[in-house]
A and B are shown apart, each in its own frame.
Chain A
Amino acid sequence: MPKRHRIMLAKAGLDGHDRGVRVVAMGLRDANFEVIYTGRRQTPEHIVNAAIQEDVDAIGLSILSGAHMNMFGKILELLRAKQSADIAVFGGGIIPPDDAAELKKMGVKHIFGPGTSMEVIVEAINQTMQEREAR
Chain B
Amino acid sequence: MDKDKLRQLQQQWEQGPLEEALAKSAERPGCAKTPAGLPNQRLYTPLSLDEAGFDYAQDLGFPGQFPYTRGRDPLGYRANYWLFMQYAGCGDAEEANKRYRYLLSQGQAGISVAFDLPTQVGLDSDDPMADGEVGNIGVAVSSLQDLERVFEGIPLNKLRQISLVANAMSSIILAMFLALAEKQGVPVDECTLRIQNDVLKEFISRGAYIFPPQPSIRLTTDVVTYCAENHPAWLPITLCGYHIREAGANAVQEVAYSLANGLAYMDEVARRGAPMERVLPQLSAFCAVNMNFFEEIAKFRALRRLWARLVRERYGVGPEVNLGLSLVNFTAGSSLTAQQPLNNVVRVAVECLAGVLGGCQSLFPCSMDEAFATPTEAAVKVALRTQQIIAHETGIGDTVDPLGGSYYLESLTNQIEERALKMIEEVEALGGSVKAIDQGYFRRNIDESSYEWQKQVDSGERAIVGVNAYQEAEEPPMEIFRPPAETQERQIASLRKLREERDNQRVQQALARVKAVAATEENLIPALTEAVKAYATMGEICGVLRSVFGEHHEGDI
Contact = CB atoms under 8 A, between A and B. Distances in A.
Interface of A: 13-19, 22-23, 25-27, 35-41, 43, 65-67, 69-71, 94-98, 113-115, 117-119
A121 to B, nearest CB: 10
Contacts of B121: 14, 41
A43 B414 CA distance: 47
B557 A25 contact: yes
B372 interface: yes
A39 to B, nearest CB: 4
A94 B129 contact: no
Nearest to A35: B557
Contact of A65 (B137, B209, B455): B137
Contacts of A98: 480
B467 A19 contact: no
A69 B373 CA distance: 13
Contacts of B248: 19, 22-23
A14 B372 contact: no
B509 to A, nearest CB: 30
B117 A26 contact: no
B337 A115 contact: yes
A71 B457 contact: no
A16 B117 CA distance: 9
Residue among B209, B336, B372, B466 with the highest chain A CB neighbour number at 10 A = B372
B206 A67 contact: no
B554 A39 contact: yes
Contacts of A13: 117, 129, 132-133
A41 B207 CA distance: 9
Centre residue among B123, B207, B450 by max chain A CB count within 10 A: B207
B556 interface: yes
B246 interface: yes
A37 B447 CA distance: 14
B136 A66 contact: yes
Contacts of A114: 336-338, 371
A69 B372 CA distance: 14
23 contacts: A14-B120, A17-B206, A17-B247, A19-B334, A22-B248, A23-B451, A39-B554, A39-B556, A40-B207, A41-B207, A41-B554, A65-B117, A66-B133, A66-B373, A66-B483, A67-B133, A70-B132, A96-B372, A96-B480, A114-B337, A115-B338, A115-B464, A117-B468
Contact of A71 (B132, B205, B246, B483): B132
Contact of B129 (A17, A43, A118): A43
Nearest to A115: B467
B454 A23 contact: yes
A85 to B, nearest CB: 22
B316 interface: no
A90 to B, nearest CB: 17
Greatest chain B CB density within 10 A among A66, A96, A119 is at A66
A39 B136 CA distance: 21
B228 interface: no
Contact of A19 (B246, B371, B555): B246
B117 A14 contact: yes
B136 A22 contact: no
A16 B207 contact: yes
Contact of A118 (B202, B370, B454): B454
Interface in B431-486: 447, 450-451, 454-455, 457-458, 464, 466-468, 477, 480, 483
A113 B454 contact: no
B391 interface: no
B477 A97 contact: yes
Contacts of B51: none
Contact of A14 (B129, B339, B457, B468): B129
A40 B451 CA distance: 19
Contacts of A95: 372
A2 to B, nearest CB: 22
B131 interface: yes
Contacts of A35: 557
Given A26-B447, A67-B133, A17 B338 contact: no
Contacts of B336: 114
Interface centre among A18, A37, A71 (most CB of B within 10 A): A18
Contacts of B450: 19, 22-23
A13 B132 CA distance: 8
B374 interface: yes
Contacts of B516: none
A27 B53 CA distance: 43
B316 to A, nearest CB: 37
A13 B454 CA distance: 26
Given A23-B450, A113-B338, A94 B208 contact: no
A104 to B, nearest CB: 16
B36 interface: no
B130 interface: yes
A95 to B, nearest CB: 8
